[in-house]
Amino acid sequence: MIPSFVRAFALVAAAAAPAAASAHVTLPPGGASAGDSYAAAFRVGHACSGAHSTTGITVRVPEGFSVQKAEPRPGWTLTTAPGSVSWRADSARSALPAAERAEFVVQGTLTAKPGTLWFKVLQSCDVGSADWAEVPAAATDKPAYPAVRLDVLPPGVAAVEVRDPWVRFAVKGQSGTGAFMTLTAPSGARLTGASTPVAGRAEVHEMKMEGDVMRMRPVAGGLELPPRQAVELKSGGYHLMLTELKKALVAGETVPLTLEFVDRAGRTGVLRLDVPVRAGAAGDGDAASAAHRH
């Protein structure tokens, strides 16, 4: 059984994730496990307003994160001081052009206490600067220059971002269907299983050509999610196979779905989601139901 506080935390974390606008300085969504070592990869997506390039980044490290080391960046000078890490471009040539994205990575260890950490990041540019340092007072607040948020998750909650999950509809009597989504594990993980009250079985499948025949089979050992790399579960590729369906799945309803993961340290964690049922594009999931034979 999953304690109810874990469930509540997971839902809050999932709801808050889309607020991280891609244009700001961000960490990969999905959070990190309390007490874990963590590579904080700050993504800088554009220069300051009206500027052509980013020339410096200074991260003010909150309590709750102990820095071990920062990754150097060629052509930039790295300076670490108590409570901060900064990179400064050695010349205009090595500055980060406005149209390019880059990651500035700080390795460290996280507090054992679950909660939210805010990293304040000063971005210096060829013209002006931007201080990403505003901590929203409420979840609905959208400050112009938000500090960088990191969700520190309690044991049992997987540090994985789930984007655009959906389940393909199923008519009454249909035995199986597919569930699709994009998963990103900031620190790496494996998707090892799933469960839902609407199906007797839920398995991670892959599709593979065997001779001329496209076949699907359970992924042995689970699906690898490399750190900070989005892995797509989609028709014709990896997917979650729901079989022994207990009812029709109607477009527009939502179904509970629990995803099970193992992190790099071997610890298990789950995410509990409510996933919409959709008709899907033509062909989505057809293969999943038609070709599925065990």
Does the footprint of Cu ion cover residue 47 (CB under 5 A)?
A: no
Identity of the residue numbered 186: P
Total of chain residues touching Cu ion, rule CB under 5 A = 4
DSSP track, 51-84: -SEEEEEEEEPPTTEEEEEE---TTEEEEEETTE
Does the footprint of Cu ion cover residue 241 (CB under 5 A)?
A: yes
Smaller CB separation from Cu ion, 172 or 294: 294
In whole angstroms, the minimum distance from the beta carbon of 241 to Cu ion comes to 3
Smaller CB separation from Cu ion, 190 or 292: 292
In whole angstroms, the minimum distance from the beta carbon of 254 to Cu ion comes to 21
| Contact pick of 180, 205, 225, 261 for Cu ion (by CB under 5 A) | 205
| Interaction residues for Cu ion, span 263-292 (CB under 5 A) | 292
Q: What is the largest CA-CA distance in the chain?
A: 67
- The pattern of x and - marking residues 111 through 140 that bind Cu ion according to CB under 5 A reads ------------------------------
Q: Are 150 and 119 in contact (CB under 8 A)?
A: yes
Residue 150 corresponds to which tokens in the numbers above? 């990191």
Does the footprint of Cu ion cover residue 216 (CB under 5 A)?
A: yes
Q: Are 177 and 169 in contact (CB under 8 A)?
A: yes
Smaller CB separation from Cu ion, 56 or 200: 200
In whole angstroms, the minimum distance from the beta carbon of 217 to Cu ion comes to 8
Tell me the C-alpha to C-alpha distance, in Å, between residue 85 and each of 148, 160, 256. Answer: 14, 26, 42
Smaller CB separation from Cu ion, 150 or 241: 241
Residue 184 corresponds to which tokens in the numbers above? 């990103």
In whole angstroms, the minimum distance from the beta carbon of 14 to Cu ion comes to 25
Neighbours of 21 (CB within 10 A): 10
Q: Which residue has the tokens 């309803």?
A: 253
- The pattern of x and - marking residues 162 through 201 that bind Cu ion according to CB under 5 A reads ----------------------------------------
- Could you give the CA distance from residue 20 to residue 180 in angstroms, rounded to a whole number? 22
Which residues have CB under 8 Å from 8's CB, separation 6+?
none
In whole angstroms, the minimum distance from the beta carbon of 233 to Cu ion comes to 11
Binding site for Cu ion (CB under 5 A): 205, 216, 241, 292
